[in-house]
Amino acid sequence: MESKILVVDDEEIFRLTTSLRLKEAGFSVDTASEGYEGLVKLDQGTYDVVLLDINMPGLNGLQVLEYVSANHPDVDAIVLTGFSQMTMAIECLKKGAKEFIVKPFDYADLIAKIQGLLRTRNSERSFKEYQQSWRSTLVYDIFGSLYTVSCILEHLRINAPIGHPNDTQELLSYARTLNERVFERIQHSVNLPELAETHVPMELSAVDLRAILNTICERFDQWAGDKSVTIKRDFASNIPTVMTDLARIEQVFSLIFDSALKHTTGKETIEVRLHAVPKTEQRTAGVECSLSFPGKLLEPQLGSLIFSPSLDQWKEHKESVDFVALSLAISRRILEANDGALSLQVQGSSTTIACWLPEKAPAQSGVLRSPSRAVGA
């Protein structure tokens, strides 16, 4: 796609000639004859670069530049100046202009500057996309799988037959330690406020939540048995189908089940409910799965970190974010990407985690969806 340039200058012949030369170089070009017109075009259009004369009637180039920096930070500004305006040009650089060029100039120089800026932008954009993609992979693909591996290792270690060779025990213990080190790395690299902005790759299909939960309950029955914990099921019969990503929703349930199991001890019960929820004023009709168990899951300050983290809160409490908090934050993000929600309620000494999904998701099957805002506890 052609890069788009806006030329803001009060001299007609200059605008005409610059426009012609830049179009010949392969750019799409718009012009504005004065500062205010330039602002209107910036607000109405999408530009990659703006060429800005400093001295213009009405709004001068510096004033336009301040507006660009505040309202269109993704537009790069090149200031056009004469020698007598070098002090002003330096001022413009301080206020966010990326380059300046002295009139009269060779158009080859101007085009080279523009192409340089565009290359830098493309590199930054590619890097940002790569960073976001990697972050998504780390959080949504690697974390959940590693967590499950950790649980399996623990299960194997606990259930190793008596008289099992010590080296096997040690091997399992060592594997678990390695896993935990990887968890720590992931934990320290995930910024909860940024998590709200990450893209969640999803492939939507019609999912029978009842079948999923039955499978997960059976898996966790074994582990719960290790701790003499009972998983009690209460699944309604009329559960509508939801459109969601099968692997992601399994990941959410696994993380939540494991968090609940970690905080439950012998002879206690985890109650799992699955029921249809009728439409309310706040929500469409949907399906809710809740886990209730005795025990306090999180320290109070971590609750707000999971549901509405500000950067300051994150900076203050990030050292106390543990695996449970991170699991819940990830689960919340996945549900929100599906137009669903996660809630956490503490009543007395009992905790309930609930996942809600809309009965009919708005997107078509197989389409990647963008995230929506949180509906917290």
Partner 1 sequence: MPDKTFSILYSFRFEDGRTKEFTIELDAQTLNLVRRNEPSPREWTRLQYAKCENCQLSPDHEHCPVALNLVEVIEFFSDAHSFEPAQVSVATEERGYTKKTTVQKGLSSMMGIMMPASGCPTLDKLRPMVRFHLPFSSPLETFYRSISMYLTAQFFRMKAEKSADWSLDDHLHVYKDVALVNRGIANRLTVASKADANLNAIVILHSIGDGIQYFIETELEELRNLFKAYVEE
Q: Which residues bind partner 1 (CB under 8 A)?
A: 10-14, 16-18, 20-21, 24, 54-57, 82-85, 103-104, 106-107
Distance between CA atoms of residues 70 and 50, nearest Å? 14
Nearer to partner 1 (CB atom), residue 90 or residue 175: 90
To 10 degrees, the CA torsion angle through 310, 375, 216, 251? -40
Q: How far is the CB of 95 from partner 1 (least distance, A)?
A: 19
Tell me if 199 sits within 8 A of 236, measured CB to CB.
no
> Closest separation between CB of residue 52 and partner 1, Å?
14
Q: Which is nearer to partner 1, 107 or 235 (CB)?
A: 107
Residue closer to partner 1, measured from CB, 67 or 107: 107
Helix, strand and coil percent figures for the chain, each rounded to 5? 50, 20, 30
Least distance (Å) between residue 78 CB and partner 1:
16
Give the contacts of 327 (CB within 8 A, at least 6 positions apart): 147, 255, 256, 258, 259
**DSSP state string for 104-133:** S--HHHHHHHHHHHHHHHHHHHHHHHHHHH
* Closest separation in Å from C-beta 23 to partner 1: 9
Task: Give the nearer residue to partner 1 in terms of CB position, either 11 or 226.
Answer: 11
User: Judged by CB, which is closer to partner 1: 30, or 258?
Assistant: 30
Distance CA 19, CA 13 (A): 10
92: helix, strand or coil: helix
Least distance CB 1 / partner 1 (angstroms): 23
Is 83 or 278 the residue whose CB approaches partner 1 more closely? 83
Q: 239 near 208, Cβ under 8 Å?
A: yes
Q: From the CB of 114, what's the least distance to partner 1, in Å?
A: 16
